[in-house]
Amino acid sequence: MCAAGTRWTRAVIVQAGQDGSAVWTVPNVVSMVRLALVPVFAVLIVTGEDVWALVVLAVSGASDWLDGYLARRLNQVTKLGQVLDPAADRLFILVTLVGLLWRGVVPWWVLAAVVLRDLLLACLAPVLARHGYGPLAVSLVGKTATFALLYAFPLLLLAETPGPVGAVSHAVGWAFAWWGIGLYWLAGWHYLVQTHRLVARGAGGERQEDPA
């Protein structure tokens, strides 16, 4: 049984490494689980199940790092994964912010800052496509911003706890949130500048991973 499982894993790794068309790879499954956790978190935050909501947020934050690491480690970088990972990140960030706003944990401008940045990137996509380019490659700044935001959310929710734990979580959580929002917009500016340069150059390019 163990040998059969090993042969199946190796077969998937080879398939993913050859043409990037594999679907059921380990990193893709991790991203799918993160997507499945989005409605779970929404229900938990609305019903006031803060402990389980914290668990879901922590798992989501860890899985965001894990799927990328496994994709590189296992040579399982796939076309689906390049779309699924940033899509899962954005959806989780959006739903989490809406939930935290509904609970009064974060002010409206936090949600507005994230949504406006994503709308900016959405406007860049047709411009790039019109000049023969696919979505821009993910940047280190963009990925760091996503990590910071995903780590800020459970801390901001934990900040609702009275006492020293809540106070420390409030300070650290908002530090992550400010860094995340700042880096999120810095990455957006980089994508805007990169788009301008590509359009000005007037040459085609290859499709790469969505910016995070």
Q: Is residue 212 part of a domain?
A: no
- Cα(77)–Cα(108) distance, rounded to whole angstroms? 36
- Cα(108)–Cα(178) distance, rounded to whole angstroms? 14
- Residue 20 pLDDT: 54
- Residue 6 pLDDT: 40
- State the CATH number of the domain containing residue 50: 1.20.120
Q: Is residue 8 part of a domain?
A: yes
Place of tokens 């002010």: 107
28 exposure class (CB count in 10 Å sphere: 0-12, 13-18, 19+): buried
The per-residue pLDDT string of the chain (212 residues; one tens digit each, 9 = 90 and over) reads 444 444 433 444 434 444 455 667 777 788 888 888 888 888 888 888 888 888 888 887 777 777 777 777 777 776 766 677 777 788 888 888 998 898 888 999 999 999 999 998 888 888 888 888 877 777 889 888 988 998 898 899 889 888 898 999 999 999 999 999 999 999 999 989 999 888 888 654 444 445 55
Domain boundaries, position 137: 2-201
- Residue 110 pLDDT: 93
Q: Is residue 121 part of a domain?
A: yes
* Per-residue b or e along 58-83, where b marks 16 or more CB atoms closer than 10 Å to that residue's CB: ebbbebbebbbebbeebebbbebbbe
Q: Is residue 207 part of a domain?
A: no
Q: Is residue 208 part of a domain?
A: no
- Residue 21 pLDDT: 58
Q: Is residue 33 part of a domain?
A: yes
Proportion of the chain in helix, strand, coil states, percent, rounded to 5: 80, 0, 20
pTM of full prediction above 0.85: no
Give the count of domains, the chain. 1
- Residue 7 pLDDT: 42
- Residue 172 pLDDT: 95
Q: Is residue 48 part of a domain?
A: yes
Q: Is residue 72 part of a domain?
A: yes
